[in-house]
Structure 1
Amino acid sequence: MRITAVTPVILGYRKSDPPMSRSFALVRVDTDAGITGWGEASTNWGHSYPTVFQAAVRDVCAPALIGQEPRSVRARVAHLRTRMDGYLGWEGLTSQTIGAIEMALWDILGRSVNAPVWQLLGGSGRALPLYGTGTTMFEASADWHAAYFDPAIAVGFCAIKVRLGRERDADIDVVRAVRSHVGDGVRIGVDSYWFHDARSALALAEDLVGLGVFFFEEPLPQYRTAELAWLAERSPVPIAVGERVFSSRQYAELARTRSAGVFQPDASICGGLLESLDVAALAAREGVLVYPHVGGPTAIGLSANLQWADAAGVPLFEYDIDPYQPLVDDLAPQLSFGAIRDGRLAPPSGPGLGVDIPDDILERFPYAPGETYTDVFPRHERGTGARP
């Protein structure tokens, strides 16, 4: 079998809460056997720069892959690393792009032997316990945010994640309202999306521990390694990182410096399924928990992460409970919110990733340039938003 085409496919739509554009970066890999594989890259919530991904796939990756054997997954990844790492760096866009292509190769391999990818990775196809992701409607009331989780609690979610990024007292009020609303039987994590520096994050963590918060995600930028290690040593709430960690190398450095108690790898960010499994193995050796990060991708990225997470035996898996996700609901009803039972979701049982992409996908969800998260929330991402 040989690769005949490698095609970037960029998609988009608008969401309403908050109003902003969502864009997505997929890759399609075709073969002379008539088998097609799909993969997805992410910048952590869809893809903020899909045209950059498009150029990397079209101009760098496709020429290196056409004519090659797609089922030799490790060889293809090694070749792409040679092409990209030394010139574009070995993190960021490089890892996202290689991860997307690696997914597509696994999809082809699974379809070629009529087996789901989780089976090829040694998984069992079990349904994974989910935690539901909150929303960035920061202007909404604390009670509104508490009620936002009602649909998730109704279908058995055992844990939820509250989005932070207001003034300190307002953030505490929201978490307190959510705790009062859901009761003590539901675990609560929080995510501040690089809003803090180390000292303001520590002060907030000391207030949140009494509300039963079990992880504090992305309190400050991960490249501030000394600050992150200082915070992790002192925080009464375990620090979680992952959506801006791009490789097992970076995770190894975080483990060495004891900078986090929870790792959150995402195959569409950190280089693919094999890299995510490497992170899970590292975490097991170092006594770090693994809760995969799955920030609202299409059905392709969601399925790919379920595949490796099943094989790794993770105890908890993220699920975006935003009610408008047509690139999950329309493409893979078996992965939609309506398919969740007892707060759990299993990877698809079909061959490969188990998701079929319709031919009219570009017409139904055309990409249009729009706001990135940074445009909508300019105080975030700098690690200074909590300062007066």
Structure 2
Amino acid sequence: MSEPTIKSVRVLTVMGNFEWPIVKVELSNGLIGYGECHRGPGIKEILRRAEELIKGKEVNIEYLLRLIRKHVPNSEWGVVNNAISGLETALWDVKGKLTGLPIYELLGGKVRDRVPVYADLHAGTGIKETGGKRWVELAGTEVAYNVENYIKRAREAMGMGFKYIKFDVDVPEEMMETEFDRTFSMRIVKFVTSFIGGVRDAVKYDVDIMIDGHWAFSVPTAIAIARELAKYDVFWFEDPVPPENIDAMREVRLKSPVPIATGEKLYRLSQFRELIEKEAADIIHPDVQRLGGLLEMKKIAYLAEEYYVPVAIHNISSPIGTMANAHVASTIGDFIAIEWHAIDLPWWPDMVREGMIIKDGYITPPKKPGLGVELNERVAIEHARDQGEVKEFLG
């Protein structure tokens, strides 16, 4: 009996707290697999071209990825990899359903039964995206930068079982000369870090605190912020300077008294190779829905292990992408945690039929075939960005 082949590749962009491009692969025997891409322009067009290349072929994932990368321009890095990442996850999901195995088994088997998750708490208030504006602009400084809100959010996450939490140290725009500033006075440095001291006093050491810099600072200001953060024993300082200059990141890392984490904007093994070999990060923090997929994440994790660099995963995804991350994370030796960005989105769990996948700060990848969760298409359609995509997605 012949093996089933790929019948179609479709995408539906769901508007959550971020855009979630959900990929759906259907086989000739009716089996369906789901994946998720990191947001980006042109994903639908890239996936349409990928469908032309792989339609009618069997689910041989390594071959299909090489075929796409050979024939789709600019696949070395950039948004093509966002599209490939979501498609590859959908292929793993359907491959698991064909073989009766969960994705973590297809990736070589797990080393942990459950995967830690950290709660991103922003700057003490919820995240919104409206017209491209940063959420802190919408919230206002008096709301976002308030130590009581930081403490309230920390305790809320701790009450949900999280052992890791993350806050931002973005500089409010009203404190900047221009929106392009990267170098700031010590007055501002102490302002944006002071709230972390309030959190540490309140929560003691019952939870680890991560800090996100959003690539916002020059090297001197990043080092100054790191020195202030060291007073509060933070777990890491993430993305202190822009990601494209690895040497600048290395300089910060060498002079920082706290660990430096970075990597969410990098693509594929080639870019992580430079970061790791130059010892520019204490912790790598890839985005699996952006970097090229689960296989690429495994390659990066193997290289990091050779340099004794631990791994965490950046994640702004729906439960589909988040569960894919949990599968690959369960196979990585020195793994810290997966990010969760959706503490303020009440319908986030409803995106899959199984409901909430995070319990007491952990995800347990299911033993069921594939991802082990199924997209709730009704909820996805309710929140679709473009209702014109819905008919095509449903087939």
TM-score by length of 2: 0.83
Q: Residue 251 in 1 paired to residue 272 in 2?
A: yes
CA deviation after TM superposition for structure 1 residue 318, in Å? 2.5
Give the 3-state SS of the residue equivalent to 2:351 in structure 1: coil
Q: Which residue of 1 aligns with 2:359?
A: 340
CA deviation after TM superposition for structure 1 residue 8, in Å? 1.7
Q: 2:332 aligns with which of 312, 315, 331?
A: 312
Cα-Cα RMSD: 2.0
CA deviation after TM superposition for structure 1 residue 320, in Å? 1.9
Q: Which residue of 1 aligns with 2:291?
A: 270
Q: Which residue of 2 aligns with 1:363?
A: 381
Q: Which residue of 2 aligns with 1:383?
A: none
Distance 1:64 1:333, change over 3 A: closer
Deviations 1:244-295 (A, max 9, x none): 0111111100012111110112221111111111111111101111112122
Q: Which runs of 5+ in 1 are unaligned?
A: 16-21, 370-388
Distance 1:368 1:182, change over 3 A: farther
Q: Which residue of 1 aligns with 2:167?
A: 162
Residue identity in the other structure for 2:359: I
Q: Which residue of 2 aligns with 1:351?
A: 369
Q: Return 146-155 or 209-218, whichever deviates more.
A: 146-155
Distance 1:125 1:334, change over 3 A: farther
Q: Residue 236 in 1 paired to residue 257 in 2?
A: yes
Q: Which runs of 5+ in 2 are unaligned?
A: 126-135, 172-187, 388-395
Does the aligned pair in 1 maintain the 2:37–2:86 contact within 8 Å?
Answer: yes
Q: Which residue of 2 aligns with 1:133?
A: 120
Q: Residue 6 in 1 paired to residue 20 in 2?
A: no
Q: Residue 81 in 1 paired to residue 69 in 2?
A: yes
CA distance in 1, matches of 2:103, 2:326: 10
Q: Which residue of 2 aligns with 1:303?
A: 323
Q: Residue 61 in 1 paired to residue 62 in 2?
A: no
CA deviation after TM superposition for structure 1 residue 314, in Å? 4.2
TM-score by length of 1: 0.85
CA deviation after TM superposition for structure 1 residue 144, in Å? 0.2
Deviations 1:192-242 (A, max 9, x none): 111111110001101111210121111111102221121111111111112
CA distance in 2, matches of 1:220, 1:192: 8
Moved over 4 A (4+): none
Q: Residue 96 in 1 paired to residue 82 in 2?
A: yes
Give the 3-state SS of the residue equivalent to 1:255 in structure 2: helix
CA distance in 1, matches of 2:384, 2:118: 30
Could you tell me the percent identity over the aligned residues?
A: 26
Q: Which residue of 1 aligns with 2:307?
A: 286
Q: Which residue of 2 aligns with 1:150?
A: 155
Deviations 1:117-175 (A, max 9, x none): 11222115611222221124442212202211222212332221111102422221111
CA distance in 1, matches of 2:356, 2:336: 17
Does the aligned pair in 1 maintain the 2:111–2:332 contact within 8 Å?
Answer: no
CA deviation after TM superposition for structure 1 residue 243, in Å? 1.2
CA distance in 2, matches of 1:100, 1:204: 36
CA distance in 2, matches of 1:113, 1:266: 27
Q: Which residue of 2 aligns with 1:379?
A: none
CA distance in 2, matches of 1:163, 1:235: 17
Q: Which residue of 2 aligns with 1:30?
A: 26
CA distance in 2, matches of 1:30, 1:344: 30
Distance 1:361 1:331, change over 3 A: closer
